[in-house]
Chain A
Amino acid sequence: MKPIIRGKAYVLGDHIDTDQIIPARHLVYSLGDPEERMRYGQYALSGVPEAQAGLPDGHHPFVKEGHTSPYTVIVAGKNFGCGSSREHAPAALQIAGVEAVVAESYARIFYRNTIDGGFLVPLESTEPLCRTVRTGDPVEIDTTAGMLRVGDKTFRLKPLGAVEAILRAGDVFAYARQSGLLR
């Protein structure tokens, strides 16, 4: 986990489900194939209705061309990642270049997948930042201090709690090794 994550914010609302993060028709591509997996970056967040894509204005495609996004930090509302258990969802965001999501809360399978797979850092805000931060704003996250800075404002993030050990280890396999369950 990087101590400081900087990037342009992409802002979304509440209840962004995994069908919006990566629509099911794309789940046929191989995550292991170096070329084919790039499609997940290309189609990341392509299921978000256009009016809600990049708040507050909407109509900002997350990926404009190729398979990477100019936005590397997602700022969202409640229950981010609800729906399916598809690990393609955090993988798609990572392949598109996302390093952190800052949401008010997460659906638990998505949350767990991001941590156990080491895809990105899922942080929780203490207030609805998706109404403060605007798509395109440069943001800076201090993962050690638990702070998000945007412009001259600083916002506190919730402590990661018990899962911090897995994020620091890198993924669930590294954590299982540390726990003595894997050699």
Chain B
Amino acid sequence: MGLTITEKILARHAGRDRVEPGEILWVDVDVLMTHDVCGPGTIGVFKRQFGERARVWDKDRVVITPDHYIFTADPHARRNLDVLRAFALEQGIPHFYDAGPNRYKGVCHVALAEEGFTRPGEVLFGTDSHTCTAGAFGGFATGIGNTDAALILGIGKLWVKVPETMRFVFEGPLPPYLMAKDLILQVIGDIGVDGASYRAMEFAGEGVYALPIEERMTLCNMVIEAGGKNGVIAPDKATLDYISRRTEKPFEVVTGDADSRYHSERAYQLSDLEPVVARPHSPDNRALARECRDVRLDRAYIGSCTGGKVEDFRAAARILNGRTVTVGTYVVPATTAVARALDQERIDGKTLRQILEAAGAQIAEGASCAACLGGPADTFGRLNGAEVCISTTNRNFPGRMGSRQSAVYLASPLTVAASAVAGRITDPREFLA
């Protein structure tokens, strides 16, 4: 019996020829990422366990990307950035993307890809549950807590239980009204928010390989919303083109064996799928967008690691070009590179920024996680009352975007843009000629 991609990567990183699901292994870590919310706690545990003068196991494998609470006056949040600065300086960490005009990147999961840290075949851990995004490049990537991250800082290893793999195959060409967000909300709606607990979710099929790289990231990004340990897509030429432009480090592509054993397999015909939303207050509370026309909105939000990438704004701009939003629409580019792309990418001769601004959207000055997770009270786009919001983000738990009184619908950037124009939840096919 052969091995899945996930099993093979974990086996190689444990110095083994083969592994079985359920086995516990100590694996070598290629990259550890942390940010401003969990970095200070991680550093605290590291120093307590390994000593005030301890050195990290490999400073070139540590990536520190402040991104959560950057544009806030909150004094504790400012202090946390100082903790990261002091540690990066003390340890001589080269991959520290400090908040400020020079090095700042923005949302860690998108920044990791842009900077070439998401290499195929590697093991990447991060102190953020959406670290699973990086599996879109054919590596093993998952989120961990401060304690596990501190252990990695010290020894470069972590124990993992080898997960079983669930396989999801999307067949047929990708219709222009569907995005990766629709695909993953479809899956989460089918299997539930704990439907993939402890398991790997592997995506395959013509529909997946028709997706641009950033869209594949969206697919893997939300596996955690089904409880998945990691999401993974075997690399193709597009993956290798993307990553080779961004890293000089050698890497080895890992693919699954033809006779690998899966926990289960589900196949979808893309022509059968329609734009969907996840209703409050759970990502698996799926409904067809066209069946939610009576939901009136107070706000629309386009941003985050899930829905704030260039492809997301390109999609939103397709709808918003020449139209006007009727509800407050907040736009937050995930990274500084995405923010620059808003001024470079054009539709009908107009930049994405011009299209979004002409439509009446408010664009955040800085790239960050912003209101995806609520954040301090002065966070851009935060829901501070009983607003009904449609959002390209990843979670709609009670109070996730701020107030416990708010209600959040999750949808693709196409659906969010169409809904922002109509002021109620709208299937984007109403606007796509």
Contacts and interface: CB of A to CB of B under 8 A. Distances in A.
A172 interface: yes
Contacts of B155: 176, 181-182
Interface string A63-89: 000000000000000110011111110
B251 interface: no
Interface string B77-99: 10110000000000000000000
User: Chain A interface mostly helix, strand, loop or mixed?
Assistant: loop
A86 B26 contact: no
Nearest to B142: A109
A29 B397 contact: no
Interface stretch (A13-21, A92-100, A128-136, A142-150): A13-21
How many chain B residues sit at the interface, stated as a range, is 35 or more
Interface stretch (B38-46, B111-119, B295-303): B38-46
Interface stretch (A2-10, A54-62, A110-118): A110-118
Given A31-B41, A31-B44, A116 B376 contact: no
B376 A28 contact: yes
How many chain A residues sit at the interface, stated as a range, is 35 or more
A36 to B, nearest CB: 8
A25 B376 contact: yes
A105 interface: yes
Among A83, A162, A181, A182, chain B packs the most CB atoms within 10 A around the CB of A83
B377 interface: yes
A31 B347 CA distance: 48
B332 to A, nearest CB: 15
A107 interface: yes
B109 to A, nearest CB: 12
A131 to B, nearest CB: 18
B229 A108 contact: yes
Interface string B342-375: 0000000000000000000000000000000111
Nearest to A179: B26
B194 A82 contact: yes
B44 A28 contact: no
Contacts, number: 144
Contacts of B374: 19, 23-25
Interface string A156-183: 0000001000000001110110010110
Contacts of A113: 144-145, 147-148
A109 B144 contact: yes
A47 B161 contact: no
B404 A117 contact: no
Given A85-B131, A116-B151, A162-B24, 13 more contacts: A19-B374, A24-B373, A28-B76, A30-B80, A31-B41, A82-B194, A85-B145, A87-B127, A113-B147, A117-B145, A172-B148, A173-B151, A181-B26
Contacts of B69: 27-28
A112 B145 CA distance: 8
B123 to A, nearest CB: 16
A133 to B, nearest CB: 21
A19 B227 contact: no
B431 interface: no
B198 A19 contact: no
Contacts of B131: 85
B244 to A, nearest CB: 30
B318 interface: no
Contacts of A151: none
B197 A107 contact: yes
Across the A-B interface, the 7 shortest Cβ-Cβ residue pairs: A87-B145, A28-B76, A32-B44, A113-B145, A85-B143, A79-B194, A117-B147
Contacts of A83: 129, 224, 395, 397
B58 to A, nearest CB: 16
Contact of B404 (A27, A28, A47, A181): A47
Contact of A85 (B68, B128, B395): B128
Contact of A86 (B38, B194, B197): B38
B61 to A, nearest CB: 17
B194 A172 contact: no
